[in-house]
């Protein structure tokens, strides 16, 4: 393949912090890689670990879950639950042989447009290093 590999990354952003942070990065005209497909959720606590598995099945090369800093959650404690869940699914996916460089979580608040850029750059760079991830992709059935 002569074309350069561009990773496909699914990002689950919480409505109150990270989504607003990404919005701020946009309105501040901060340039960051365009590999992200952003899905807005109300809280990181909404992110079922199966979302991550499903994203990989549908052809994602990396997944990012991003929410408010601990203590800042709009729903008081949603990100604490998300953190526990995420740390476990991350261990499990790594155990069955999925590169941990594909799975990320971050805290980005609504005022951290610059941090958002750094996070995305890191996530994209790591997913690029890990390479395309086809092994887990769901078979396309051709009826």
Partner 1 sequence: MVDLENLRTIAKETISREDVKYFIGWREGTYGFSVSPHFVREPAEADKLIFSPLCSNNLATYLTLAEKLPVPRGQEPDTRKVALMVKGCDSRAVVQLLVERGIEREQVVVIGCPCQGVIDTKKVEQLLGQPENVVRARWEKGKIICQLPDGEKEFIKEEVLAQKCLKCRYPNPVIYDILFGEKVEPWCQEEDFQEVKEIEGLTLQERWDYWQEKFSSCIRCYSCRNVCPLCYCEDCILDRLNPTWINRSVNISENTAFQLSRAFHLAGRCIECGECERVCPVNIPLMKLNKKLSKAVKEMFDFEPGLDPEAKPLQASYRPDDKEDFIL
Pick from 54, 72, 74, 132 the residue near partner 1 by CB under 8 A: 54
15 binds partner 1 (CB under 8 A): no
61 φ/ψ angles, rounded to the nearest 5 degrees = -95, -15
Pick from 5, 77, 125, 131 the residue near partner 1 by CB under 8 A: 77
Of 88, 70, 54, 96, nearest to 14 (Cα)?
70
Q: Which positions ≥6 away from 88 have C-beta within 8 Å?
A: 49
In degrees, to the nearest 5, what angle opens at C-alpha 61 toward C-alphas 89 and 70? Answer: 45
Pick from 15, 81, 114, 132 the residue near partner 1 by CB under 8 A: 81
Residues lying near partner 1 in the complex (CB under 8 A):
49-50, 53-54, 57, 70-71, 77, 80-81, 83-85, 87-99, 104-107, 119, 122-123, 135-139, 141
């Amino acid at each position: 393949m002569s074309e350069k590999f561009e990773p496909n990354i699914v990002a689950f952003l919480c409505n109150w912090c990270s989504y607003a942070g990404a919005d701020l990065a946009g309105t501040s005209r901060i340039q960051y890689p365009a590999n992200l497909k952003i899905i807005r959720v109300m809280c990181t606590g909404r992110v079922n670990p199966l979302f991550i598995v499903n994203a990989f099945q549908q052809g994602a090369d990396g997944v990012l879950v991003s929410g408010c800093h601990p203590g800042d959650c709009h729903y008081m404690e949603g990100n604490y639950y998300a953190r526990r869940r995420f740390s476990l699914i991350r261990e499990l996916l790594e155990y069955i042989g999925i590169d941990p460089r594909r799975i990320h979580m971050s805290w980005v608040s609504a005022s951290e447009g610059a941090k958002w850029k750094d996070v995305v750059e890191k996530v994209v760079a790591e997913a690029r290093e890990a390479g395309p991830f086809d092994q887990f992709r769901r078979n396309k059935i051709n009826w």
